[in-house]
Structure 1
Amino acid sequence: MSSVDTIYKVILYPFITESIASLKAMTSLSGSSGDIFMDSVDDFRFKGYAVCSDVTGHLDGVIMMHHYPETAVAIGNSVCENMFDEKYEYTEINDELSNALAEWGNTIVGRSTDLHGRYNLDYKFSSPYFVNNVDDMSKYLKGVREVVTVPIIIEGVGRYYFNLLVRSVNYQSVGIKREESVGIANIHTKDLPSDSTILLVDDSSMIRKALKRILGKLGYDNIIEADDGSTAVEMVKEHNPDFMFMDVVMGEMNGNQALQEIRAAGHNVPVVMLSSVTDQVLINECEGYGISGFIFKPIQADNGTEIIKDYLKIA
């Protein structure tokens, strides 16, 4: 097996399959992967927008989900349209599209790296980060010996690329298959009263906006919000909410840590966790603190109302 085939199978395959699956789940677009090829390091150029994750372990390098600006705009508009059921026609990346692309990128990277972890491969991935300045590219190319590229063709839009910038690697021949993720249901049957106070905790303003809209459609208007786990802990103390939806991976304090502190303080508020990461150890940890369900992102306009409605149960 050639080095390119090995890298594709071990490193890139989960990212590509999750990317195509997330296009289907989070946008109205459909995509397919092209043939893998080796890019010239000297000729490699920044296309305008990239979601990146550093790779360490048996491979030292960077994986990039790499877009031309116009492709990023099209994807961002489509993510917004599917999340909010409204037409979006932005022509350049702004804060709203940046949030949409971040949510899409986080979902792909989270699910892909989780799949690597479940197969016990000796690779670690950093939290995703974003590059939109051509001047930043030189530091990512420092020490790079190979650039492995796979194009993703989006029907009617164009293409983006997965680039694996390789500094060093110990090749392994390990096959990976994609696994579907399903949520953990709320086993309770009594509907949450419509005048209840619901706390939404997510570092993505876009997710909070989408959840707030869904809850409004279901008749829940008493909504409060937090953008990190530590704020959520304080808001539980101050507002004593009747129900919570809380993301797992956040900046200052993750949701599982916040949940632990909330329970340690004696608060028994029902909590439904949200995440694109499907790590069973993490799920078991949250269940150990007492949760009323676990929803795996994404949540879209076409199915979000039914999904959230099923989780709004107590006792």
Structure 2
Amino acid sequence: MSVEALYKVILYPFITESIASLKAMTNLSGTSGEAFMDNVSDFRFKGYAVCSDVKGSLDGVIMMHHYPETAIAIGNSVCENMFGEAYAQEEINEDLSHALAEWGNTIVGRSTDLHGRYNLDYDFSAPYFVQNMDDMDKYLVGVKEVVTVPITVEGVGRYYFNLLVRSVDYQNAGTKREEASKGIANVHTNPLPKDAKVLLVDDSSMIRKAIKRYLNQLGYNNIIEADDGSVAVEKVKNEAPDFMFMDVVMGEMNGNEALAAIRQMGSNVPVVMLSSVTDKKLVDQCESHGVSGFIFKPIQADKGAEIIANYLKIA
């Protein structure tokens, strides 16, 4: 398969989504360079990568690959954009790790969702992170080609997309970009009372922190949290929240599964779903269990409270 075909079929959605998410989540501007073939024997780990395994007719790994200083600058910008405060961390600490994870998950989630819409003969794993140079050798085992696309971030530096190809037999395919969904609104009109108990469910502590801040700005302070769908089911059973915001993709139990369990046990608590994945089947599944809206991430500090307020309605 040529560089052009690999780029169009596999990399193009990742490149375009990363540049769009870079602007949306950091207010930074990025431009992509030309795709080229890297020399496998000379390929080196730069220090921080978000990865997704590719299986099926194409076997390999896709990496969003940073030098540490670029990752730090982007992580600080994600934090600033989510919380509206200046961040100047000088190393990848817990806050920046969560910020970079949220950015990476958004890009990989939306890109793989876009691939999935076209029934192409390969699948992607959930994203994971590599920060140890010693770990890179195992990803290069059996790799025959490396396709690289540099992304230049204005005023910051570069990051790279690498497609490490072990084998491929998919010859003729194409993809096109679709506009991301803006979300599904809450059609109710009565605002949630300010003393209502709100349950936040997300495996990202950063997302929970951001939404909690938006809720506080709106006058809601009775807030409880859960980091997984299974915990959310127990919280609904034992603490009877009046309203919920719940992520879809989580660890042990996804939000759509938790929603089904919550409805099965007889609770009609209003639930607004959160996700970076815009898959119509998933949205339809959640709607079939009764939801009060669907917010597609990311949510930024400048409009976060306004977005959340538009969903805090009952009846």
The two structures have a TM-score, normalised by structure 1, of 0.99
The alignment covers a number of residue pairs equal to 314
> 1:173: how far off?
3.0
Q: Distance in 2 between matches of 1:68 and 1:145?
A: 24
SS in 2 for 1:88: coil
Q: Distance in 1 between matches of 2:46 and 2:204?
A: 25
Give per-residue Cα distances to partners, 1:122-151, cap 9 Å, x unaligned.
110000000000000000000000000000
- What CA distance in whole angstroms lies between the structure 2 residues aligned with 1:122 and 1:201? 33
Amino acid at match of 1:203: D
2: CA distance between counterparts of 1:175 and 1:131?
29
Deviations, residues 61-92 of structure 1 (Å, cap 9, x unaligned): 00000000000000000000000000000111
- Equivalent residues in 2 for 1:75-94 (5 A)? 75-94=74-93
Helix, strand or coil: the match of 1:187? coil
Distance 1:175 1:124 in 2: 15
What's the CA shift string for 1:230-283, capped at 9, x where partnerless?
000000001100000000000010000000000000000000000001110000
Name the SS of the counterpart of 2:65 in structure 1.
strand
Aligned pairs (5 A) from 1:200-279? 200-279=200-279
| C-alpha distance in structure 2 between counterparts of 1:70 and 1:125, whole Å | 28
- Aligned runs of 1:159-178 on 2, under 5 Å? 159-178=158-177
Contact 1:256 1:285 in 2 (8 A): yes
* TM-aligned CA deviation for residue 170 of structure 1: 1.4
- Displacement of 1:305 in angstroms is 1.2
Aligned residue for 2:186?
186
Does residue 134 (structure 1) correspond to residue 133 (structure 2)? The answer is yes
Question: Offset of 1:182 from its aligned partner?
Answer: 1.7
Give identity over the alignment, percent: 78
Q: Does the CA contact (< 8 Å) of 1:4 and 1:148 recur in 2?
A: yes
Structure 1 residue runs of 4+, over 4 Å off?
A: none
Q: Which letter maps to 1:33?
A: S
| In 2, Cα distance between equivalents of 1:74 and 1:121 | 35
Q: Secondary structure at the match of 2:143?
A: coil
Separation in structure 2 between the aligned mates of residue 121 and residue 79 of structure 1, nearest angstrom: 32
Structure 2: how far apart are the matches of 1:262 and 1:56?
34
In structure 2, the partner of 1:37 is 36
Instruction: State how 1:13-162 maps to structure 2 within 5 Å.
Output: 13-162=12-161
| Distance apart, 1:179 and its partner CA | 1.5
Displacement, 1:3?
Answer: 1.1
Q: Which residue of 2 aligns with 1:305?
A: 305
The aligned amino acid for 1:204 is S
Distance 1:22 1:47 in 2: 22
SS in 2 for 1:32: strand
Superposed displacement of residue 102, structure 1: 0.1
Separation of aligned partners in 1, 2:207 and 2:305: 13
2-11 or 43-52: which moved more? 2-11
- Residue 143 of structure 1 aligns to which amino acid in structure 2? G
| Amino acid aligned to 2:266 | G
Query: What is the letter of the counterpart of residue 256 of structure 2?
Result: N
One-letter code aligned to 1:186: N
- Is contact 1:7–1:171 with CA below 8 Å preserved after alignment? no
User: How big is the shift at 1:101?
Assistant: 0.2
In 2, are the aligned partners of 1:60 and 1:168 still within 8 Å (CA)? yes
Question: 3-state DSSP class of the match of 1:166?
Answer: strand
> Structure 2 CA distance, aligned partners of 1:9 and 1:174?
8
The alignment yields a C-alpha RMSD, in angstroms, of: 0.7
Partners in 2 of 1:19 and 1:297 — Cα distance?
Answer: 14
With normalisation by structure 2, the TM-score equals 0.99
Point out where structure 1 has 5 or more consecutive residues left out of the alignment: none
Q: Which moved more, 1:177-186 or 1:57-66?
A: 177-186
